[in-house]
A and B are shown apart, each in its own frame.
Chain A
């Protein structure tokens, strides 16, 4: 069989070049394929090695695909089809068409490569787009804009909107509406001090206007009575102008609180105040090494109300004149001397009858814990535990001394009333007048130094009746002598300052009022409660104090045993504010009070 194969090449200009091959085959099959043994050699990888076969029969020409090769006739995939010169045969990228019968060939076939192999380019292998790390929203520029806007909206715009929509509510009612409040909170640099948390989200309670620093008036709306530290009119020297509240009080410091505790707050001025200002105040800075000795305010003239401030231990340190005589040493160190008892063990052996009604020793015997007195027997803390209460006769002294206020051995149940001198005089006068009326001569035991007995001592034996002078006219004289004895020597005068009738304006016996100092150092405060684990005697040298003229205040060195200045290492760091207040109660308020809960309109 003789076949004429025309390979057509369509050029760019549209002209078709053709290369004609005539092949002679045995049999009626024409093979098509990529294989070099194919009759129609289709040199392209898209064509199978053995792709298809044309079978020439007598009346028709049939094309058959080999294996699973893909064959299309008139664009329709087929496995086997009869072809005519009108059929368009597609084998891979080639288009084949039977030609009209020609005399010198049994079959003519035009072969044209209609889909030339794609020319591979570098871009095909490496698309530049595929070498970008981020595309779309992940591009650097897009990401930058996105993040910038998100942060700006959430961090700036929404908090401002939150500020503008928060209702201007006052303190304690600062619940702002809406979810935007959370964005406002996003600006808070730190937690509020505990006392200010009741303000809630009402930022504008203090921050009244945007971009305006917090004004002191805002503070004064809740704290109107906060007072000056010094007399503003008097101390106008440079460097200390009354500043805004926020100058010292920094809010949003969380647990650090709003009250400044640093030493320099005071020491900046007080370190050399005597140089820079006209003042009687002594210079003070670090408690550990630059604080003056304590200068208690001591009552030196109770009648004239005169007090003196003198440093402890200084020459000429005044005696305290409280109009009361109380030797601490005797009360603290003396134990029961009645039966030679000095400790609890001995006390246990004392027969009860020997005690003769001494309540202290009876109590001690019951408790078996003390034979003498302790500080706490008389000194009790105030409610709250900061200060100490003053001992009182009825509560403390009277435990031992009340039943000793009898004045006549013949009537041991007659007791003089404490604290009422005029009644004492009346009782004594009445007693001896009554004695005289009953015809019983009053017996005054002469030459007995004191009727006062220590607890446990027996009653003095009275002289036998009839040994004294005649009853009757002498009643007044006896009473007068008794009064002299009671006030001047045996009872009142033992503890109290007495004004005898001769010196009295009223012409009668008087007891000077007791003036015990409540606060020796009123400009500082000391919390006894905070020191309750420390024995009293560590600070107060009461055991050796033989007179109540002693000021039993510890000197600064005693405090310094534990407390040193701000930068102390092996001690309690103690700054000024631990003992001293800044705002002085005796001065004017720093700012006029302002109506509460009336924030400035935005």
Chain B
């Protein structure tokens, strides 16, 4: 019978395991596997010196090439596994961990497969695409490790939707305040409502700022107006400045949120299309090798 202490310890361990990063999954199981693969490839490369030098056409070249090609195909299946819900025989986290570590080990396997030979041909194109895919993937790893924390800190417990709802509420307040103010204020409030947008082009999202933001301009203009407002209006005008200021701050946080999210997505726009280009180059590479055999 399991004591309650054991059970709670087991539960804690399970929770820890669930929260552990994919990088430390199962005590670096796939890091070890990737290191083993890389070191084995390197050892074979260093120990055996083929007649005529290392290249893809030696038995070691063919072996490493086969391992590399199968690895690439398996790594690409991650895209399919990711879309399938449910634990499956391997958890998604396990897949990701293996995807990352074994993917990086391809740097060693494929480089040794090529025997450091490069040229202007389909073979080197496949290699170059693979390097680009791996590097973009490494960017993704860094993004996944660092950016969620930044995102959480930036959100301060609010979701992007929550921020937007609060901005709408502020808009309503601004309208109320502006009803009792002169047309110049009303114009600025309308500008803030109508000319403020979140997101946009990729660059807009990644830059985290919008030079044409209606709220920014409205705030500046209203601030100037409020300074010169007649006493009867100054209280309302001040209220409007506060409300617009709060909206401006929310906007900055929302844009930063979008920026972080975009950074987390951006590498995939390189990683995924380039991996498909790599798959095509790999097919062409293999066909070319056996088409002109010998």
Binding site for B on A (CB under 8 A): 34-36, 43-46, 48-49, 117, 120-122, 125-127, 130-131, 133-134, 138, 140, 143-152, 155-156, 159-160, 163, 185-190, 203, 206-207, 210-215, 244, 246, 248, 250, 253, 256, 260, 262, 264-265
Query: What is the distance, in angstroms, from B137's C-beta to the closest C-beta of chain A?
Result: 14
Give the interface segment out of B35-43, B145-153, B174-182.
B174-182
Q: How far is the CA of A486 from the CA of B272 in the complex (A)?
A: 100
A-B contact pairs, 26 of them (CB 8 A): A35-B180, A45-B179, A45-B189, A46-B190, A48-B183, A49-B186, A120-B171, A120-B193, A122-B165, A125-B164, A125-B167, A126-B161, A126-B254, A138-B269, A148-B277, A148-B279, A159-B284, A160-B291, A189-B117, A189-B119, A190-B117, A207-B293, A212-B293, A214-B294, A253-B55, A256-B52
B168 touches A120 (CB 8 A): yes
Query: What is the distance, in angstroms, from B117's C-beta to the closest C-beta of chain A?
Result: 7
Residue in B closest to A125 when the chains form the complex, CB atoms: B164
B276 touches A144 (CB 8 A): yes
> Among B129, B196, B277, B283, which residue has its beta carbon within 8 angstroms of that of A156?
B283
Q: How far is the CA of A179 from the CA of B53 in the complex (A)?
A: 34
B287 near A: Cβ within 8 Å? yes
> Among A125, A256, A264, which residue has its beta carbon within 8 angstroms of that of B197?
A125
Residue in B closest to A189 when the chains form the complex, CB atoms: B123
B229 near A: Cβ within 8 Å? no
Residue in A closest to B268 when the chains form the complex, CB atoms: A140
Q: How far is the CA of A321 from the CA of B168 in the complex (A)?
A: 116
A126 touches B273 (CB 8 A): no
Q: A125-B168, A143-B269, A253-B55 are in contact. List 18 more A-B contacts (CB 8 A).
A: A49-B181, A49-B183, A120-B171, A125-B198, A126-B164, A140-B273, A144-B273, A148-B279, A150-B277, A151-B129, A151-B277, A156-B284, A186-B122, A188-B121, A189-B55, A189-B117, A190-B119, A203-B292
Return chain B residues, CB-CB under 8 Å to A125: 164, 167-168, 196-198
- Contact flags B213-235 to A (C-beta < 8 A → 1, else 0): 00000000000000000000000
B171 touches A211 (CB 8 A): no
Return chain A residues, CB-CB under 8 Å to B181: 49
Question: Which 8 A-B residue pairs are closest in the complex by CB-CB distance?
Answer: A130-B199, A214-B294, A155-B284, A213-B294, A151-B280, A147-B277, A143-B273, A144-B276
Could you tell me how many residues of chain B have their Cβ less than 8 Å away from some Cβ of chain A? 68
B189 touches A250 (CB 8 A): no
Residue in A closest to B52 when the chains form the complex, CB atoms: A250
B57 near A: Cβ within 8 Å? yes
Q: How far is the CA of A186 from the CA of B276 in the complex (A)?
A: 19
Q: How far is the CA of A187 from the CA of B129 in the complex (A)?
A: 16
Return chain B residues, CB-CB under 8 Å to A163: 291
Query: What is the distance, in angstroms, from B175's C-beta to the closest C-beta of chain A?
Result: 5
B197 touches A130 (CB 8 A): yes
Most chain A beta carbons < 10 A, residue from B55, B189, B197, B288: B288
Residue in A closest to B181 when the chains form the complex, CB atoms: A49
Return chain B residues, CB-CB under 8 Å to A160: 291
Binding site for A on B (CB under 8 A): 51-53, 55-57, 117, 119, 121-123, 125, 129, 160-161, 164-165, 167-168, 171-172, 175, 178-183, 186, 189-190, 193, 196-200, 202, 205-206, 254, 258, 261-262, 265-266, 268-269, 272-277, 279-281, 283-285, 287-294
- Knowing A203-B292, A211-B290 touch, does A45 contact B190 (C-beta < 8 A)? yes
Query: What is the distance, in angstroms, from B54's C-beta to the closest C-beta of chain A?
Result: 11
Query: What is the distance, in angstroms, from A128's C-beta to the closest C-beta of chain B?
Result: 8
Q: How far is the CA of A134 from the CA of B160 in the complex (A)?
A: 20
Query: What is the distance, in angstroms, from B72's C-beta to the closest C-beta of chain A?
Result: 13
Q: How far is the CA of A144 from the CA of B129 in the complex (A)?
A: 13
- Knowing A151-B125, A155-B281 touch, does A133 contact B262 (C-beta < 8 A)? yes
Return chain B residues, CB-CB under 8 Å to A210: 291-292
> Among B51, B129, B205, B275, which residue has its beta carbon within 8 angstroms of that of A131?
B205
Q: How far is the CA of A148 from the CA of B193 in the complex (A)?
A: 44
B293 touches A211 (CB 8 A): yes
A207 touches B56 (CB 8 A): no
Q: How far is the CA of A43 from the CA of B183 in the complex (A)?
A: 13
A155 touches B186 (CB 8 A): no
Residue in A closest to B287 when the chains form the complex, CB atoms: A156
Return chain B residues, CB-CB under 8 Å to A214: 293-294
A45 touches B276 (CB 8 A): no
Q: How far is the CA of A187 from the CA of B285 in the complex (A)?
A: 8
Return chain B residues, CB-CB under 8 Å to A253: 52-53, 55
Residue in A closest to B278 when the chains form the complex, CB atoms: A151
Q: How far is the CA of A117 from the CA of B182 in the complex (A)?
A: 19
Most chain B beta carbons < 10 A, residue from A130, A155, A160, A265: A155
Most chain A beta carbons < 10 A, residue from B168, B186, B190, B292: B292
Return chain B residues, CB-CB under 8 Å to A187: 121-122, 288, 291-292
> Among A49, A122, A127, A188, which residue has its beta carbon within 8 angstroms of that of B182?
A49
Return chain A residues, CB-CB under 8 Å to B289: 189
Return chain B residues, CB-CB under 8 Å to A117: 175
Return chain A residues, CB-CB under 8 Å to B165: 122
> Among A133, A211, A260, which residue has its beta carbon within 8 angstroms of that of B52?
A260
A207 touches B205 (CB 8 A): no
